Each structure stands twice: as C-alpha cells, then as structure tokens.
Structure 1
C-alpha cells in the first residue's frame, strides 16, 4: 500500500506530543542546539520546511560535520509505508546546510517528514533523527489559513530565555496555520547582540550571545551566524518544525536601508561596499532559508506560490533591484523599487492568475512614509500627497494595470515599520485615481523594538482605518507591542478575513472582505 493511499489516522499534535511508534524522538523533547561533537553526526539547529505547493515542498537541515541528508516522508505520523530517499550531502561549502524537495506529495494533506544525518566518512554512523510536519496546498477549494509578520531580533533584542525567548512563535503555532509568510528582516545582520539591555523600567533584558552576533555581519561566516543565532530559540524551532514557510527578505538581511551601489558611511564596517556585502548575505540566505532551490541565474527571491483556486501569493523583492534612495521626486519611472524586469513579471503573473485572491507580499509599505538619512526616502512614498513621483510612479503603473485588466481581489501584506495597521486605498480620496479600491495590512515586529506610526501619504488615497503602536520609540519585546497578522479564506463564501494580533495572540482588529466576481 502506498504511504499516501489512506488518510492519516493521527493529528500532527500526536507527532509532537510524545515518542513516535517509528522510533523518532518527538521534536518537543529534542535537546537545545549544541556545538558539542559526539561520535555520530547531529542536526543542531532543528528542521525547516518551505514553499509547500500542492505536490512538492522543500525541507531543510544543518549537520555539525560532513553528512548525508536522508529523508523519509509520509501522511501518517507513525511513518508506516513512508517513502525514503537519499538527499544532498551537507558539506562545509554550504556550512553543512542542505535542502531536499519532497516530490509526489498529495494535495491538501498533512505531511510528516524525518531527516537523519549519516556520516560521510562512515555511512554506517547515523545520527539522531529529527521529525517535522508541513501541510501541502490543495488542488481544490478548501479553507486556507496563514500568518504573516517579520522583523526578528532587531535593535539588539535577542533571546532572553527568562522572558520566554521568541514567545510570539508559540502564539502563531497555536493557530495551526497552513503556512507562515515572513515579509523580511528575518535576521538583523547589522544589529549586534550585547549581553544585556537596561529597559526603561529598570529591569534587565539578558541576551544569549554568540561570537558571530557580537558585531555587525560583514563576512559570510558572520551572516551565517545570524541565522544560526535565531535557531537557538526553542519557540522558533518548534514553529519551524511544524509550519511551512514562505520567506522573502528586506534590508536587515544585509544592512539597514541598503540599495545597490551604495557605499556605506558607517564606522562599524570595514567593508563599505554594499555590492560586496549583498552577495555574501544572499549566499547565507539561500543556505539557511527553506525556499525551493529553483531560481534563475541571479538567485532571485521574487516568485509566486499557488494555493489552489482560492489563493496565489506573490512574493516581491523591493531590495535587490531598487533605484538609489533619494528625495524620491523623479518625474519618470527609472526602475523604481522593483526594477523594470520584476515589475513586468508581476504584471504578467497577476494577469495569468486564476486564483480568487491575489496576495502581494511587499516587504516595504506603499503609503507609510519611511525616511532615510539626508532627506532621502527608503520606501515608496515621500509624503507630498500629490501626483505620483519617484517610486510612486512604478506603483501607479501597476495599479493602473490591475484596473485596466479587470484584476480584482488584490490584497497587499507588509511589515517593516514595527507596528500593526490597516490601510484602505480609496481612489475617491487620492491624487492618482486610476485604480480600484484595495487594502494593505501591516503587522510586525515579531521580536524587535517597536515604534510609533509613520505619516501616511495619500497619493493613492490611503486611509488609516486601524493602528496600534507604542507611544515611544524602541519599545521592547517585553511590552505588548509585538504583532503578527492572520488571514483566513473561506472555501464556501470565498470571503477573506484579516485579523491583527499581538504577541499574546489577542485579536486587536479584524475585517472580512467579500470576493468580487472576476
């Protein structure tokens, strides 16, 4: 009988609540990552999965020495009739990380996977297996639920185990999402972690510290160390082992507010050329993030993930191809924040989409005014509230394209600004009017300093319907000002509901959007 011929008789909670009949240790009982070498290979940083489609998904692991990644997967948590294959070698050139694509998965199902490292020097030496879970997209219409956020370990706030570590990941995991969408700033490569921070109330925030996180990242090893640091956190490892990811990046994967060709004016850096740093950062990203290993020659991040007839997720890259940060008042479209090639790709993919809902994951917001030093601007908007200028011209072109081609049910999700908000874009209140009304929802940070809300530019008629943000700058993760969002699509009504939540999981605000007919 095929491993996928009968529906699993167990829930994924069975998998993570105790030892499995198949002999693998339950993930919740796994020891914290350690760098101690033993007689057998080890997987010290847990498991991850990502880019789960209807019939494939990517799984990830990292060993502590040269090893072979052997993968088993099934729809039963006891792994009866599991499929097994030999995955890639985990070698020093990739910091002993590796990815494998699980093929031939059944759509719309819970899938359990187990990874075992085998010593390359002695293939008879097998290390302890680790077990994970993911859920595939459905070929047919079914309810869809996912969470999104970003900004992890920023402003020097690292892992304080006495405060529960990255506790927001437990709250997201308890919602049992189909997948997790990370909008970017999954690491803060430019923010060192110090042993302690004195908070405004006089209490001490005590960080776990590592050598690679004790300075800004410049070398490949230091960029890799930022990902390894986050994987020391137990709530994050539990979440990653149970929920498939869709990952994109923003600036802090490399350096704050960077753009191609920039020369840094930052005394913390010996290497001032962003175009050198960004390639090291990109290599570490692709090594440590469970994206599908299918890219063009540039190793691009922008892509579309399809979830049956109800949802397509368009993942943008507003960092690698952008024009230089400036006063942002050019009267021509010189590539904007996406670059011409990506913008044309987005229009083609949106036009080709047959899904009811089109989620655009934009790592930079459309209407919040995000300044940079020297009178420059980091985001799309520059706050003049008038006709589109600079990067706004590229967004205006995309919005006009959507209207002229009758592409409906487009929702934008973003993070970046370290608070949570809902903005409705109304052409009746806009300087530029050639678009249909739409929503953008903002939620974050996951675990970083949070900030008061930014000014809202009304070039596209943005109206701030809801916002929650701290009254002071750099409020710590010890406060309630940490946020994530949840999206649910009903298979019957096709309505899309957005809920904005804080780090206790409490719902702060929600709205239900009906699906407009195509």
Structure 2
C-alpha cells in the first residue's frame, strides 16, 4: 500500500499563513514583561494548539504576552460566516499567561476552522490580531477511516533548534502528511538537558543551537520548567504543525529529570533541589499549562481519547505511579510501572471499549532492556528472559487479562529509545505464555540524538522484525535521520497499516494488521 501524501488544502494554507503571521513576532527566549510596563494589544505569538479531539469535542490552547481574556470562534468555513463563540479563561501570571478552552457539541467528521482572539481584560474592545487554526473531529461512521502519526523525544541530548538546517524539519514533513492527529509519546521536552551555543560534530561540521536562558541549565524552578516547554514553540515548524494537526500528549522522564521515579532523592551536583517529587510537581504544572490536556490541575495524564468507532487511544503514564528503579528481580510487585489504580483503570477501560482498534500509547517499551546505571532498570524488561519478575509481573497480569477477556485489536506504540523498530510478541517464544500475540512499534526521536538498538528480553517472546538505529550513541540530527510512525486504519476493511518513516520521506517498514483477532 502506497503512503498517502496530500498537499495542504487551500483552507489549510490560509490557516498556515495566519498562524505564521501571528507567530512571526515571537521574541526568541524573552519572558513576558510585567503588564504595567507594557502598552498595546495582547499578542498570541506562540501560536495555537488543539488536543484530545473526539467526534464532538476538542481543546484549544493559546499563550498571551500579557494578561488577556481568551476568546475562541469556530466555523465550518474559513470565511467564518456565522461563527460560534466560546469565551475562554482569563490568562494571567498564575498560568504563565497560557490557557485552554474546551469546545463541545462539535459535528463529527468535520473540518473545524477556529480563531483565537486575545482581549484586554480591562477593555474588551482592545483585542490582538486573531490566530487561526484548524482540525478534524473524529468520524462518527466507521467507513471514514482514521490516520495518525506518532513519535517523541524532542530537543534532547544537546540538539536544540538549529536555524542552519531549518529547525525541527520533521514537523514540516508530518504537517504535509495531514494526519487526523499526532500522538506525542513522551519526552516532549528535555528539562534536564542544557544546550550549548554550538557543538562540533565528528566530521568537523558545527551544530548551532538557538539559546534561551532556561535552556542553558537544568530546570528546577517553575519558571525554568515553563521556559523549557516554551522553547520548542520558538520553532516555526512546530507552530505551523500545531495550527493544523491536533495532538494527544503524554509525558515520560525528561519533562522532569532523566530516569526519575517518585520518592527519588538526587545525587546530582547540577541540582540545588534534590527532591524529585518537588521537581515533578513543578514540571507537571508546566506540562499542563503548555499543552491542551484535560484536568492538568489534577496532575492526571492517563486517559482514553475515543476517536470514533475505529479507534480508542489509551494514554498511559508509566512514570508517575511506578516504583523505584531496581534490578527488577522481585517475585511480588503490585506497584510495577503503572501503579495499582492505573492498572485497574486500564483493565476497566479496555473491557468496555467497543472500538475496532485499541492503541496502548506507552511512554516506555515492554520488551526492550533499558538500563538505569550498572544494575538497575528503567523500563519493564530487566534482561532476564525467564519467568516474569519485578515490573514484568504487572505487564503479565495485563496481557493475561486481555487474552482471557478476549479483547481484540490491541497494539502498543512508544518512542523513548531513540531509534525505530517493530517487535512481534508470541507466546510460543516466551517464558510467560498466557497471552495473545501482539505487536509493539517504536518510533523516534523526532528532534534529538539517535542511539543504538537495545537488547531484547525474552520473557514475553519478542522478535525484532525490523530495526533502524545508528551504530554509536547520541548521533546528531545532522548525521542521522529523525523518525516518526504512521497508522492508517481503512474504514471499509478495518485493516490497520503501520508505517515506520524516516525524515526525508522514506517508508522504512510497513505492516498490515487485520481486525477482530485476539492476537495477530
């Protein structure tokens, strides 16, 4: 099956021009000045975003350069005749002048055009230039099909926005594919990864980073975390992509600090604040402020986003509820990587799902061995191919549940390891065999360093069907392509096609899965 490569429609080109025009005035790295020191009208120079779009709802995000009232208007056409008006929150210092407005009662399977206007809270007649965006609501009919992209790992390992190569170029490639949505699989920022102004590559070329104050050190304060999340929005590719493609966003470790877990006390001289729980609370608040996600004040990232009759996306949080990283040899482990409450929630939601396909959006892989130091492990697998131990026990429980409840159409998508691969899990190859076969697909980084492939753990019987990875650690985006994945669900047959893509347009690997089977 050939990949679908549409060009932007005239309406989307208009949205793109409007978004870029509004965001061209971004002052790189600048923080908002105190409101009393400024004059003029509020500006939305960081663009707009939409998130968690369903068949009837969605979230619209914006940031102002000063306190302002957020107003959203939606329309079925880009002319905005008879627009529907949504009055949003007052944006102020408590949220770093960011805000999200929930849109409800939208028509399914429809291209929604929207514009966000910022109004002076003291004089609503004083408004800034509107910023435009568009998105498609999920279809109500199965035959309409669904197509989305996924990846993660953005601005990591010292590789930030490089103006010499056009910034985060993979975002422009993804925008041109015009997907229904983008699943961002974690490591949305690297709060623990300071940038240098320039880095000399092995071949003598020089990588040049766009610098801001917050990206020059590890983030510790709330303002520093906010600055890290703000950094990626300085890239014109990111802003144009956000104006056209809605996202489903989850987090992993680098939003806070590498390989963190609850209760951890740091032994890292870069940090004055050693309590990871304090850092995670600050990072979580900034995450909720800078992405269009629901209920950020509750600190909850795991959720189900229902995208019509063909697809439910189960967004997992494998960071907040986990136990401490360890050698992973416990014979009894109820906390695991999901925590007991999240595991119960996931079982319940999987059992009640009626979607043809159920994507388990994991911020970490299952069968890839991801070490944390010399003896501890960061993900699920711990390198012992025998019976489940440690965090593997919880995943075994989940896989057994899926099999015995005859839940069909599950597949796992992740990023994290900074290469792209496809693993097929088969009980006949496994030490633990009470599960149905399934696939796990890995894609990334989107704008970070590339790394060699991780070893496989045989507990759940994975076979690496495809892999593309560099041969050395932390290969820059100038030396190795970035990666993202594509999922295309055909509305007539229900067949799901996964494509692993490389920056530059190449489809590296393709796999077709058929619906209605307990295992593939």
Q: Do both share a fold (TM > 0.5)?
A: yes
Q: Distance in 2 between matches of 1:481 and 1:415?
A: 15
Whether 1:450 aligns to 2:454 is: no
What residue ranges of structure 2 are gaps of 5+ in the alignment? 1-6, 33-37
| Matched-pair contact (CA < 8 Å) for 1:183–1:249 | yes
Tell me if 1:257 matches 2:259. yes
Q: 1:365 to 1:94 in 2, by over 3 A?
A: same
* Residue 162 of structure 1: aligned partner: 164
Q: Which residue of 1 aligns with 2:91?
A: 90
In the TM superposition, 1:92-491 aligns within 5 A as: 92-141=93-142, 142-292=144-294, 294=295, 298-491=298-491
Mapped to 1, the partners of 2:119 and 2:432 lie a distance apart of: 60
Deviations 1:92-132 (A, max 9, x none): 11000000011211001111110011111332211111000
Distance 1:16 1:162 in 2: 27
**Equivalent in the alignment of 1:17:** 13
| 1:85 shift after superposition | 2.5
Structure-1 residue corresponding to 2:35: none
Moved more, 431-440 or 304-313: 304-313
Note if contact 1:32-1:232 (Cα within 8 Å) is conserved in structure 2.
no
For 1:436 and 1:154, the matched residues in 2 are separated by 36
Partner residue of 1:57? 58
Q: Determine the structure 1 residue equivalent to 2:3.
A: none
- State the Cα distance separating 1:27 from its structure 2 match: 2.0
Structure 2 SS opposite 1:284: helix
Superposed, 1:35-50 pairs within 5 Å as 35=30, 39-50=40-51
Closer, same or farther: CA 12–126 of 1 in aligned 2, 3 Å: farther
1:438-477 CA deviation, whole Å, 9 max, x = no partner? Answer: 0000000001111000000110000000000001111101
The answer as to 2:18 corresponding to 1:26 is yes
> Does structure 1 conserve the Cα–Cα contact (< 8 Å) formed by 2:86 and 2:103?
no
Work out the CA distance in 1 between the residues paired with 2:184 and 2:113: 22
Number of the residue aligned with 1:7? none
Give per-residue Cα distances to partners, 1:230-284, cap 9 Å, x unaligned. 0000001100110000000000000000000000111110001001101000100
Alpha carbons 2:8, 2:178 under 8 Å: kept: no
Moved over 4 A (4+): 35-38
Report SS of the residue matched to 1:385: coil
Cα deviation digits, residues 319-345 of structure 1 (max 9, x gap): 000000000010012310000000011
CA offsets 1:277-324 (integer angstroms, 9 cap, x no match): 0100010000001113x36x7421000011111111000000000000
Q: 1:12 to 1:450 in 2, by over 3 A?
A: closer
The farther-off stretch of 473-482 and 208-217 is 473-482
**Partner secondary structure for residue 383 of structure 2:** coil
Once the two structures are TM-superposed, the CA of residue 480 in structure 1 deviates from its matched residue by 3.2
TM-score (norm 2): 0.94
Quick one: distance in 2 between partners of 1:19 and 1:224?
A: 27
Which secondary structure does the structure 2 equivalent of 1:213 belong to?
Answer: helix
1:12 Cα deviation after fit: 6.6
Helix, strand or coil at the partner of 1:174: helix
Q: Which moved more, 1:328-337 or 1:392-401?
A: 328-337
Query: When the two structures are superposed, what TM-score results if normalisation uses the length of structure 1?
Result: 0.95
Please give the secondary structure, in 2, of the residue aligned with 1:281: helix
Give the match's secondary structure for 2:394: helix
